[in-house]
Amino acid sequence: MTTPPYENPHRLASAAVVVGVDGSEGADLAVRWAAETAAHRHRDLLLVHGLDLASTRSMVGYYDVLTPSITETIHKQGRRIVDADRRLAQSVNPDLVVAVEISEAGAAELLIRHSRTAHLVVIGATGNAGAFAHIGSTLLAVSAHGHGSVIVVRDTAIRHTGPVVVGVDGTEAADAAIAAAFDEAAERETELVAVHARAATPSATDENGAADTVLAERLAGWQEKYPNVRVRREARPAQPTQLLMDWSDTAQLIVVGTRGRGALTGLLLGSTSNFLVQHAHCPVLIAHRDQSE
């Protein structure tokens, strides 16, 4: 019996752009970005809002008489949020198909579930360290346990020019990031820059040769698959964080990868990805390993 070919669910025509909404400025920015992206790619947009009623019920558990009125208020507030964001999305493009979902689950659980079949999952972020502490539990949970591409949109200017930049660290874990980066560069009809941060050593010639080899090996085959995407390679002595931050000044999008569902390491280790999420001057895409399958 022949095994049917694998179809990446994130690339199916039915896969929607999914964005988490909570009434914050960061979420509103994410809605605008997601609406533009969905309209440009002729995809539906799904706004999701998690009420996290389990937490509310645990907090008011000793006051059961109050629980119905409190949960009703939370439901009404959630409806107001998604209605406002639906109007916001349709103001970006009146022809955009916008669906909404309000769930009693928490935001992280809801976004992780949708990430299995979404074209993209979009999360908004504002500010610096303080804001990251506020959104950290949802963002880190979706980053660690999500599927496909998770994009964090910060409160910085959204660019429609400039390259897509992908961090390549020489491991197989980078393959998902490379796959997502080529997809994004092709969608945006822009250049792809593949960067590798090498160690600064006295034997610069040897290091340059090794870095070039890393990039060549990891990018092998992708140019043939995406012949219309122009690729530039850059390897220089720098910390990954600084190298990607430098590029975030001119890039449309920074792409980094993960190393599985558990610990976040390499280019998704706190010192790199957490810093990018808080400080990058463009959206950051976190690519999960099922992206390259």
Size of the chain, expressed as the number of residues it contains: 293
72-111 confidence digits (pLDDT tens): 888 899 999 999 999 999 999 999 999 999 999 999 999 9
pLDDT band (50, 70, 90) for residue 201: low
Amino acid at 28: D
pLDDT band (50, 70, 90) for residue 136: low
Task: Say what the pLDDT of residue 291 is.
Answer: 52
Task: Say what the pLDDT of residue 121 is.
Answer: 97
Q: Does the pTM of the predicted model rise above 0.95?
A: no
Going by C-alpha positions, the residue among 252, 256, 259, 231 that lies closest to residue 241 is: 256
More confident call, 266 vs 20 = 20
Task: Say what the pLDDT of residue 129 is.
Answer: 39
24-40 confidence digits (pLDDT tens): 888 999 999 999 999 99
179-188 confidence digits (pLDDT tens): 999 999 999 9
φ, ψ (nearest 5 deg) of residue 85: -75, -30
Q: What does pLDDT average to over the chain?
A: 82
Walk me through the domains of the chain, giving residue ranges and CATH numbers: 17-154 (3.40.50.12370), 164-287 (3.40.50.12370)
φ, ψ (nearest 5 deg) of residue 52: 55, 55
pLDDT band (50, 70, 90) for residue 62: low
pLDDT band (50, 70, 90) for residue 269: very low
Going by C-alpha positions, the residue among 141, 144, 148, 153 that lies closest to residue 280 is: 153
